[in-house]
Amino acid sequence: KLVGRMTGLVEGLLILVRADAGHLLLDRSELTLADLETTVGEVIAQLPGRERVKMTCQAPREMKINGDSLLLAIAVRNLVANSLLYAHEGSVEATFAERAGGGLEICVEDQGPGLPADVLAAFAEETPADVLPGNRTGGAGLGLSIVRAIVESHGGTLLLENRSESGGRVTIRLPAATP
């Protein structure tokens, strides 16, 4: 267990350092939603509690985006892992949908207590990754910073909000593929 946590911490730190240096995307290519969905599914299959995760695709699987499928899968994995941790027993939904005007939207929702106010405020203000609110449950406190670095390196945006009924919702918005 300790080796897994250390590996995750080193992976996260490397992603943040590469993002800060402007060298995060090493394998930027055109990929289909089907390819991305497969990679995300493989990464999520490694998480404890994965039986509580439901993935839904509401976009054409042949839709194309530019990017690195493994990095995007890591971003979705971090969101799902957070939801599994904080939502305790509830289900977690990851939905892939086509954005109005083109592009892809990946939404991860849970039925937990929602996102803390300091985290929502930090992301709304675009606080630099190295001063975001940290660790709450034994992790390194890097998960959402890593997600934001990955999303922004793909030309996308990250939206964090609490659902009115309960739980949190984090949405990744990615642009459509460009030649």
Q: How far is Cα 147 from Cα 142, in angstroms, rounded to an integer? A: 9
Which of residues 143 and 7 earns the better pLDDT score?
Answer: 143
Predicted confidence at residue 101, as pLDDT, reads 83
**Residue 14: pLDDT over 80:** no
Mean of all residue pLDDT scores within the chain: 81
* pTM recorded for the entire structure: 0.80
**Residue 140: pLDDT over 50:** no
Q: Model confidence over 17-72: pLDDT tens digits?
A: 555 545 555 566 899 999 999 999 998 998 899 999 999 999 999 999 998 888 89
Q: How far is Cα 90 from Cα 83, in angstroms, rounded to an integer? A: 9
Q: What is the mean pLDDT of residues 64-84?
A: 90
How does residue 132 score in pLDDT terms, banded at 50, 70 and 90? very low
Q: How far is Cα 62 from Cα 31, in angstroms, rounded to an integer? A: 9
Q: Is 27 left (phi over 0), alpha (psi -120 to 50) or beta?
A: beta
Q: What is the mean pLDDT of residues 110-123?
A: 87
